[in-house]
Structure 1
Amino acid sequence: MPSSALSARRLVRIALTNWRLEQSIDDAELIVSELVSNAVRHTSSRVIRVTAAWPMDTRVRIGVIDRSRTIPHLQYTDRDYTRPHGRGLLMIDALTYRWGTDLYNWGKMVWGDLLVEARP
């Protein structure tokens, strides 16, 4: 749903603005948009949850939680750039310090750690 990605970008923008990390907003919005798009496209979850946390001075973690336990994988072998989608995790991999998946009994969170400048 396009409205899901819009709401997620808004949430991330508000969080990074409150943390005075405006220089990282564009990358954070792209990361969350791709994570939300993947959750909407590849799971049957009717509800997803978006998280933004600042667990370390130099990293912000953007995550999307859904009810699926299917772990996403990078698809390095698919280089058909004429397809309208299929490169989201490649973008997340390029934009983040690292990314991963945390499995829960009821679903998972896919997250990406974005490097940010520590505040003085």
Structure 2
Amino acid sequence: MTSLTTPVQAASVGHPAYSQSLPCMPATAEIGRKVVRDVLGIWHLGSLADRATLVATELIANATRHTSCRDIRLIVVRPGVTRVRVGVVDREPLGLPTLSTAGAEDEWGRGLLLVDAVADRWGYDLRGSGRRAWGKEVWAELRIRGDE
């Protein structure tokens, strides 16, 4: 099991970003939550932590459940002064994410519904070019409000 061996060092100027490669396994969600909380703390955006860690948990769970990748990459970035983006990159460009309808008795199928409910927007970007896509990033953005 991989763990954080050094504290998160996230820049607080420009377009701050942090990323870390992690094993593609369910237990990685715990590490992902810690990384997201640490980064948001450095950026003084701890009030986004609950929503952002939920997003990270669900995106990591989807990557571990729906891909055969050995590793994933967790990304936390501020693409602008009003947004934080949490993303997970895997090496499987097929099987793109879609909202599903889970029945009352279903144990799976609500992850992206949760992401959709807490994020201001979400989506995916293919990595690579054209037919040579080597992976995808599934991401969600949270808006930073003036009181944060």
Q: Same fold (TM over 0.5)?
A: yes
Q: Given the two structures, how large is their TM-score scaled by the length of structure 2?
A: 0.75
Amino acid corresponding to residue 70 of structure 2 in structure 1:
R
- d(CA) in 1 for partners of 2:87, 2:68: 18
- The aligned counterpart of 2:53 is 29
Greater RCO (Cα-Cα under 8 Å, separation 6 or more):
1
Residue 7 of structure 1, aligned match among 14, 31, 37: 31
SS in 2 for 1:48: strand
Runs of 4+ off more than 6 Å? none
SS in 1 for 2:141: strand
8 A Cα contact 1:57 1:119, kept in partner: no
1:73 aligns with 2:98: yes
8 A Cα contact 2:119 2:141, kept in partner: yes
Amino acid corresponding to residue 98 of structure 2 in structure 1:
H
TM alignment of 1:61-100, pairs within 5 A: 61-70=85-94, 71-75=96-100, 78-100=101-123
- The aligned counterpart of 1:46 is 70
Q: Which has the higher helix share?
A: 1
User: Residues 3, 79 of structure 1: CA spacing in aligned structure 2 closer, same or farther, 3 A cutoff?
Assistant: closer
User: Residues 79, 54 of structure 1: CA spacing in aligned structure 2 closer, same or farther, 3 A cutoff?
Assistant: same
SS in 2 for 1:35: helix
SS in 2 for 1:8: helix
Give the superposition deviation at 1:56.
Answer: 1.3
Q: How many residues align?
A: 118
Amino acid corresponding to residue 97 of structure 1 in structure 2:
D
